[in-house]
Amino acid sequence: MTKFFYLCLALIICSVSETAFSLADNDADLSTAINEESADKASETSGADKSSKDEFFIPPIIIDNFDVGRTDGIFIERTTTLGTYQGTWAKRPAWSIITKSEEHRMGDTGYGLRLEWKNLGGWCGWYTLLDGLDVTDYNALTFWIKGEEGGERFDIGLADMQMQNLDISAKYVGAVSFFLDNGVTKEWQKVKIPLSRLGADVDLSALGSLVFWCRYSSAGDSSVVYIDDLMIENDPDVRKIEEYNAPRAEFDPDHPRTMWVWKIDPVVNLKAREDMFDLSLRTAIRTCYVYFGDFDEHDDPNYTKQLEEFLRESHEKGIKIEILTGNPTWAMKENHHLAYNWMKAFLEYNKSRPPELRVDGCSFDVEPYLAGEWNTRREEVKAEYLVLLASIRELIDSYPDQHFELGGAIPTFYKDEGDFEEKMLGYLDYAALMAYHDSSRKIIDSSRFHIDLAERLGKKIYIGVETQDLVTMNQGTRATTFYEEGWEDMEAKLKEVEDAFRGNKAYGGLAMHCYYSYKLLQRGRNTPYKLRVKPEELNQFISRFQQGTVEIDGDLGDWIKTDPVVLNQKRQVVFGPGAWNGPEDYSITAYSMWDLYNLYLAFVVVDNVLVQEKVKQEMWEGDHIEFWLDVDLLGDYNEAMNSDDDFQFGFAPGNFNNIEPEVFLFIPEYPEHFVLDNTEIAAKRTDDGYIIEVRIDARMFRDIDFKKVRQTASEDKQNLVANREIYEKGPDAVSEGSGRFIFADDTRLGYSLDGSDCDDANAPQKLLISTSKDRIWGDPTTFNAIWLKK
């Protein structure tokens, strides 16, 4: 038993955001929608480009082949090949343990490292010290990895010696899955991490430590991976991989994009500056909102000179720089002087300098609703904030010789705050709208009001989108960031947004939040993985082939009712089990049938109290059935996050009075008429409840791009027919061009049947009874299977 405490302090908390990077597996055409010229220009200036052929002859540095040193002794006994030390750290209840394995190793001799962890709160991970290792002649950190089950995931970080000595957290490089085509599998794979990703943040001439943050737990008791041959190398593939994955966007000169830049200092840190320019030019960004703290041009002449150089260089590259800061409490009058003085310092700086050395404006990120006072004296806070904006407007106007844009970040819900936003815009030149959604329709819908308002006022709106890992940060949901979608999918959606507003005078462009996460945003999807039993081992809801005509009338006389799914057990109540009073209270017997062009569903519901007074998306407040359908089951079999092939339907019986039975599609977002055109529903009252009968036309799924969804499990492991094969080889051999998806024999679709009972209109969703015992909303890996059989 030993102790090791203080060395861990530098390693235990990572405050940086998590972002993504991946070796995407699809061959997109790089020549389209790319500002190639800018990209090439940027890469030429990159000091991290080590792709020259000669350099690849430098022999690698072996940090650890894990053949020497112990794992259970004190740190001086846990030596590495490099002569440094390795170990684990943990804040309980999380834990991580290392051992060495002779069975799981690369090569014929020696050992591999076995890293096991479980994270239920706190933190844990593994580290190896690098003791000032100079890697400036190399371009990649590499190691081999395999998982005990596959799908294991951890985050990787690096710290330099200064950070190590000052107890500064290591810098996040990416999740291990970013660097592997299909994530960690049960086979050995080589991970190649480009060192250039950290060139601006970490001193590569003196590395301090490498850390694996074990933040994610797999299903089961713990996660186990095996690591071997940890090295620093010069790898010719790495440069290409970086280039391939670097975010890109099409430049629209009429609507250049903007970007929030937090956490880096491009004034002092030249590599950070270079990286910021690189990303901006690649991604059509022409204004950066750069964070600045307190500033006085006379405080530090050297810093002021660096600021001048930064601004000159920015302007030479066609990039405007606006100062960025903000604190919710600045809205309150007692703090107005802080904001005022901060702003004035930059206006004074501008005053004596030519335009090319000036700051171009200010992005004022004061969000008063984050302060507690927003809830207790909102109107006063709003009024005080407007007074602040008025004084700042007056301040800016008192410097008539300089053009200084004043912008402010606003949330979409300001439209519900009376004339507050209108009054704000009265003082601003533009607003950056935080329309943080990951669907184009939601971004467009939530922006419309603000664009219209700005148009009326002659102002501009920049539509902001989010790329941070908000889920891990506890600051949002997956639906509020493109972190999981990756930049390629994000661009497709943003194009729709741009198309929707391009003709509008008030539309300024898109605003990307924010630099450090956008820079590392991976090209393809970045979703959490979960292990599942094989598709044939899921509970099967057998759907019988129906050759005849089925009339959707609530009468099941024309149904084949041989294989029902029954929900009538307390263990099936996944929400509100204490409120369930037995099968007479609420229970469901469900049936399914199919033909080539339709999927039929019938639900015989026993419900002692029928309550449904709401329609459309509010139907969840009354009795209804939530029905998930994962159409491309194998396409994303292990992805624990819904994608475009996952449909969440709501089937409501109505109230058998003035509210009709209704189908509503919660996700994905399709036009209402499309859903209505391709679904049919009827309901019939019974003595003890009601029957819902539904038809879903195969055309409902015609827009699913099956090939776009990554296959995460090899076919020999998931030995079933993928839906895409049915799409291609269906009984009627329907061609792709027909646009008609069809159902076929022996197909499995993912599904979850969730019956929602309501007995009181004022108390929605008394309970939820489900076919998915581990049901998690939006997690298709908790679903079971509908099996289409002839």
Q: Of the candidates 52, 475, 569, 735, which one interacts with other proteins according to CB under 8 A?
A: 475
Q: Check residue 763 for interaction with other proteins (CB under 8 A).
A: no
CB of 458 to other proteins, least distance (A): 34
- Rounded to the nearest 5 degrees, what angle is found at the Cα of 780, between the Cα atoms of 779 and 782? 80
CB of 5 to other proteins, least distance (A): 5
Q: Check residue 301 for interaction with other proteins (CB under 8 A).
A: no
> E strands along 294-366, which residues?
320-325, 361-364
d(CA 706, CA 747): 14
Torsion of CA 240, 189, 151, 215, to 10 degrees: -70
CB 280 within 8 A of CB 519: no
Q: Check residue 783 for interaction with other proteins (CB under 8 A).
A: no
Q: Which among 135, 257, 314, 736 has a CA at the least distance from the CA of 518? A: 257
Q: Check residue 492 for interaction with other proteins (CB under 8 A).
A: no
Q: Of the candidates 8, 659, 676, 721, which one interacts with other proteins according to CB under 8 A?
A: 8
Q: What are phi and psi of 16, to 5 degrees?
A: -75, 155
Q: Of the candidates 19, 51, 65, 88, which one interacts with other proteins according to CB under 8 A?
A: 88
Beta bridge partners of 189: 145
Q: Check residue 300 for interaction with other proteins (CB under 8 A).
A: yes
Neighbouring CB atoms inside 10 A of 776's CB total 15
Residue closer to other proteins, measured from CB, 5 or 57: 5
Q: Of the candidates 35, 56, 67, 75, which one interacts with other proteins according to CB under 8 A?
A: 75
Q: Check residue 312 for interaction with other proteins (CB under 8 A).
A: no
Q: Which H or E run contains 129?
A: strand 123-133
Chain positions 89 to 128 lying near other proteins, rule: CB under 8 A, are 89-93, 95-97, 121-123
Q: Check residue 419 for interaction with other proteins (CB under 8 A).
A: no
Q: Check residue 502 for interaction with other proteins (CB under 8 A).
A: no
CB 748 within 8 A of CB 720: yes
Neighbouring CB atoms inside 10 A of 158's CB total 24
Retrieve residue 23's tokens.
Answer: 């070796």
CB of 403 to other proteins, least distance (A): 25
Hey, what long-range contacts does 565-571 have (CB within 8 A, 24 or more apart)? 565/541, 565/589, 565/590, 565/591, 565/753, 565/771, 566/590, 567/753, 567/755, 567/769, 567/770, 567/771, 568/606, 571/773
CB 159 within 8 A of CB 131: no
List helix spans (H) across 458-605: 486-501, 515-519
Retrieve residue 567's tokens.
Answer: 């929900």
Q: Of the candidates 36, 72, 618, 703, which one interacts with other proteins according to CB under 8 A?
A: 72
d(CA 413, CA 410): 8
Q: Check residue 15 for interaction with other proteins (CB under 8 A).
A: yes
Which distant-in-sequence residues (6+ apart) come within 8 Å of 515 by Cβ? Answer: 259, 260, 261, 262, 263, 264, 276, 279, 288
CB of 436 to other proteins, least distance (A): 16
Query: Which span (67-75, 554-562, 603-611, 641-649) binds other proteins, by CB under 8 A?
Result: 67-75
DSSP 23-65: ---S---TTSS--HHHHHHHHHT-TT----GGGGGSPPEEEE-
Chain positions 324 to 343 lying near other proteins, rule: CB under 8 A, are 327, 329, 332
Residue closer to other proteins, measured from CB, 183 or 266: 266
Q: Check residue 57 for interaction with other proteins (CB under 8 A).
A: no
CB 699 within 8 A of CB 740: yes
Q: Check residue 369 for interaction with other proteins (CB under 8 A).
A: no
Residue 42, CA distances (Å) to 176, 273, 279 in order: 26, 11, 8
Residue closer to other proteins, measured from CB, 372 or 582: 372
CB of 166 to other proteins, least distance (A): 6
Binding mask 144-163 for other proteins (x = CB under 8 A): ------------------xx
Retrieve residue 32's tokens.
Answer: 């389209």
Binding mask 678-717 for other proteins (x = CB under 8 A): ----------------------------------------
Strands 285-291 and 257-261, bridge-based pairing: parallel
Residue closer to other proteins, measured from CB, 107 or 122: 122
Count of positions on this chain that bind other proteins (CB under 8 A): 55
Chain positions 164 to 193 lying near other proteins, rule: CB under 8 A, are 166-168
CB of 704 to other proteins, least distance (A): 37
Q: What are phi and psi of 207, to 5 degrees?
A: -75, 145
CB of 376 to other proteins, least distance (A): 6
Chain positions 233 to 292 lying near other proteins, rule: CB under 8 A, are 263, 265, 267-268, 292
Q: Of the candidates 25, 299, 416, 536, which one interacts with other proteins according to CB under 8 A?
A: 299
Name the site residues for other proteins (rule: CB under 8 A): 1-9, 15, 72, 74-76, 87-93, 95-97, 121-123, 162-163, 166-168, 263, 265, 267-268, 292-296, 299-300, 303, 327, 329, 332, 370-373, 375-376, 474-475
